[in-house]
Amino acid sequence: MVWIILALILFFSSYFTVTFISPQLSIISSIFVILMAMPSFYYLFKNSKKAVYLILALSLFAITIETIGILTGFPYTQFEYTELMGYKLFGLTPITLPFAFVPLVIGSMYFGLKQKNNYAKIAISTLILVLIDLILDPAATKLKIWEWQIQGLYYGVPAINFLGWLFSGLIASTIFVKLENKPLPKETLTSLYLITSFWTGACLWLGLWIPFILGFSFLIVQTKQFLR
């Protein structure tokens, strides 16, 4: 129940982020990203002997694929991070990126690892990661956390970006299944739940109705997991 209450707080507090976001607050944003990742990291360490390898492998992959994307446009199309994400490695990729990406993979794999077939595990996790991006990317674009060289039809996000998420989500999910193939406890879903709550709230305040509906629907699914 405590996570549901915290999710509600994050949902409504996202209004202040939407209203007052600025480069001067980037350090606060960075701390916020790290703190939201901690629950999933903690419960993964508690329930998996491969937690260190999982987090390191996924973090390295996240930084690598994101840096390639910024430099070449593959696989998401050309984009760049603004100063809102704080300090960037090589002036390109935010150092907080692993804390933003890895909890999404852990949460998606909570659902994926419920399946019996490895292909189904990877497919479910990958599709959930794309769903998450359909929720958060429009809000982050609207807030200018990152900027696209070519604007797309989906609230400014290029369609190829979601194909890129299919690609990177497929690799990240495969890495996870190769290292950890046992079902995860619902507590490992916590960070994804909090992240979804925050960005769904942001979509509401920004008037991004399709991402809001997707986010709210996914929140209902996740809330049911915690109420079991």
Placement of tokens 């629907």 in the chain: 217
For the cut 90, the answer to whether the pLDDT of residue 35 exceeds it is: yes
Task: Tell me the DSSP string of 60-82.
Answer: HHHHHHHHHHHHH-TTT-SEEE-
Residue 110 has pLDDT above 90, yes or no: yes
The predicted structure's pLDDT at residue 134: 98
137 and 152 in contact (C-beta within 8 Å)? no
Please give the single-letter amino acid code of residue 43.
Y
State pTM to two decimals.
0.96
Contact 158, 150 (CB under 8 A): yes
**Each residue's pLDDT tens digit, 148-185:** 999 999 999 999 999 999 999 999 999 999 999 999 99
Alpha helices in 48-158 (DSSP H): 51-72, 97-112, 118-142
Instruction: Please state whether 73 falls in left (phi above 0), alpha (psi between -120 and 50) or beta.
Output: left
In eight-state DSSP terms, residue 183 is P
Beta-carbon contacts of residue 50 (< 8 Å; ≥ 6 apart) = 179, 180
Confidence label for 58 from pLDDT (cuts 50, 70 and 90): very high
